[in-house]
Amino acid sequence: MSSGKLPPAAGDLQLNFCKTLTCPNFGSTDEQHYLVQHTNPARPTLVCRECGAFPPLLNNHQVHAELITQRQLHADGLCACTNPDCEHLGNPVLTHRACYHAFGYSGDKQRYRCKGCQSTFVDRWSGVNKKSELQQKLLAYLFTGHTVREICRRLTLNPKTFYDHLNHIAARCRQKLAAYDTRFLGETTQGHLASVHAPLQPHSQNGVQWLATGEAHSGYVLLQDVNYHSYDHPVVNAQHDPYQDHCRFIASAPDVDRSETLATPEGLLGRVDAKYRAVFARSNVEDPYTQPLHFIYPNRGTLIRPQYTTYAHYLNLKPLLAHWQNIVVFSPQEPLLRSACLSVFEADIRDKRVSHVYVEQDAYWQPGAEPEKIDIVLLSWWRDRWAFTRSGEGTKAICDHGQAKGKEAYWLTHASCDALKKYQQHFHQQFALLVNEPRRRLRPGGLLPLLDIYRAWHNLCWQDKQHQTPAQHLGLTDRPLTLADLLL
């Protein structure tokens, strides 16, 4: 076995370094700064010589491969280059004119050629949507909680045709969203984002996690990914070995029951502290699935190790924010989200252009409440600096990983993951029958087009208590769109 080497970089991408913000080796990819050993599997492979941290290793090539897969899924059906090896992959013609030449017509549809790779493609969205009427009915049934079986019966569709329509609508929604996303990103130079994660199907225990990042206050969702591919991949190792090809795929494992149920501690401080202990029980602190977990592998497709999905998610987010001068990312307490965000934005974190803040609160906390007294507590091996406060019955806590002192009261008032958490909760309520259908529990693939349709509906159609959509809150449009507008 080779010794002393970090997993090789993929181009410029090397994510294996010390992730302790206050350590001089934070972000350093110099192998001299670490002890790297492969001989004793019971001990960490990488240890920082300066601070003693032992960040888990990643296969950079596998992170890059997942990034390309995500980008292809985000761009599926868009009028954009689809060549995975091309720098213009997924850049819509609509917003990236300079990347393409107009290249004649195919029937009545405009054809384009990519300047990067010379491949050509057709704008399938030019012209009228002849299926608009049927698709409007289909969407209306979906959004009023009907199951696929019922919708097929009412519209006399077979399931195959139903899913063809669903995929077509999802692609149209992605195309629609691309224009709004670009306007939002282009007109903004600073902001608060929030990243949240939840099981895609909370009652299925199928291991599929759903990660979403959006503007923290309006709840406008920019990017979402799941750690699941709907097709099969070769899975080589049961254990994660970052020096192996294909190591981002999870092997289908026998269904293991979790025997011990951990008691939920009292109070927010107790919960935050218990979470750190649960994290240290993982053999890989950045992989929530290295605890003994009860999950039932999907019948079709492949699960991805969550750290690969999460690092790729932030790598896809990064170029979208390239011109922003100041970015704060809020997230619930989860080292995977913290590490992935800090690692991807490592140089920007040191320049203080990007910072990351954990936010936790109990059910009694009132949004926007002013903190009363603030208590500072250092928690965990990392000595994370948390600020706890109360207001009325509610408790809230934040942890600013930039360790910027003096901003605690500000973050305790303004930092929030609520809007993004509600985005995921509403999905589970809105589509409860569909999400929890017994037959679908181990077949999550059919829900993937629905996620993009839901993102479009949430950003552009759904109105909050002030009768405003997230897109309206951001000034991107002056009226809510209807389901019919999404199909135009």
Q: Residue 394 to residues 271, 276, 362, 422: CA-CA distances in angstroms?
A: 14, 22, 6, 19
Q: Choose between 88 and 396: whose C-beta lies nearer to Zn ion.
A: 88
- Residue 126: name the closest of 79, 177, 76, 62 by CA: 79
- Binding segment toward Zn ion, per CB under 5 A, in 74-82, 176-184, 394-402, 411-419: 74-82
- Binding segment toward Zn ion, per CB under 5 A, in 22-30, 167-175, 252-260, 427-435: 22-30
- Residue 253: name the closest of 288, 219, 297, 213 by CA: 297
CB of 223 to Zn ion, least distance (A): 21
Q: How many residues does the chain have?
A: 488
Q: Under the criterion CB under 5 A, does residue 116 sit at the interface with Zn ion? A: yes
CB of 403 to Zn ion, least distance (A): 15
Number of residues that bind Zn ion (CB under 5 A): 15
Cα dihedral angle (360, 366, 371, 375), rounded to 10 degrees?
Answer: -30
Q: Using the rule CB under 5 A, which residue among 15, 21, 46, 81 binds Zn ion? A: 81
CB of 27 to Zn ion, least distance (A): 10
Q: Using the rule CB under 5 A, which residue among 78, 114, 317, 354 binds Zn ion? A: 114
Q: Choose between 83 and 436: whose C-beta lies nearer to Zn ion.
A: 83
CB of 67 to Zn ion, least distance (A): 16
Q: Under the criterion CB under 5 A, does residue 148 sit at the interface with Zn ion? A: no
Q: Under the criterion CB under 5 A, does residue 464 sit at the interface with Zn ion? A: no
Q: Under the criterion CB under 5 A, does residue 304 sit at the interface with Zn ion? A: no
Q: Under the criterion CB under 5 A, does residue 25 sit at the interface with Zn ion? A: yes
Q: Choose between 80 and 226: whose C-beta lies nearer to Zn ion.
A: 80
Q: Under the criterion CB under 5 A, does residue 111 sit at the interface with Zn ion? A: no
Angstrom distance (rounded) from CA 345 to CA 324: 13
Q: Choose between 81 and 226: whose C-beta lies nearer to Zn ion.
A: 81
Q: Choose between 64 and 248: whose C-beta lies nearer to Zn ion.
A: 64
CB of 172 to Zn ion, least distance (A): 22
CB of 380 to Zn ion, least distance (A): 15
Q: Using the rule CB under 5 A, which residue among 14, 28, 72, 83 binds Zn ion? A: 83
Q: Under the criterion CB under 5 A, does residue 93 sit at the interface with Zn ion? A: no
CB of 225 to Zn ion, least distance (A): 22
Q: Using the rule CB under 5 A, which residue among 61, 64, 74, 88 binds Zn ion? A: 88
Q: Choose between 100 and 462: whose C-beta lies nearer to Zn ion.
A: 100
Q: Under the criterion CB under 5 A, does residue 120 sit at the interface with Zn ion? A: no
Question: Measured at the alpha carbon of residue 163, what is the angle toward residues 453 and 227, in degrees to the nearest 5?
Answer: 60
Answer whether 53's CB lies under 8 Å from 72's CB.
no
Q: Choose between 118 and 482: whose C-beta lies nearer to Zn ion.
A: 118
- Binding segment toward Zn ion, per CB under 5 A, in 11-19, 193-201, 235-243, 411-419: 11-19
Q: Which of residues 341-380 bind Zn ion (CB under 5 A)?
A: none
Pairing mode, strands 326-331 and 249-250: unpaired
- Binding segment toward Zn ion, per CB under 5 A, in 81-89, 338-346, 411-419, 450-458: 81-89
Q: Which of residues 36-55 bind Zn ion (CB under 5 A)?
A: 48, 50-51, 53
Q: Under the criterion CB under 5 A, does residue 117 sit at the interface with Zn ion? A: yes
Angstrom distance (rounded) from CA 354 to CA 346: 9
Q: Under the criterion CB under 5 A, does residue 78 sit at the interface with Zn ion? A: no
Q: Under the criterion CB under 5 A, does residue 208 sit at the interface with Zn ion? A: no
CB of 134 to Zn ion, least distance (A): 34
Q: Under the criterion CB under 5 A, does residue 340 sit at the interface with Zn ion? A: no
Q: Which residues bind Zn ion (CB under 5 A)?
A: 18, 20, 23, 25, 48, 50-51, 53, 81, 83, 86, 88, 114, 116-117
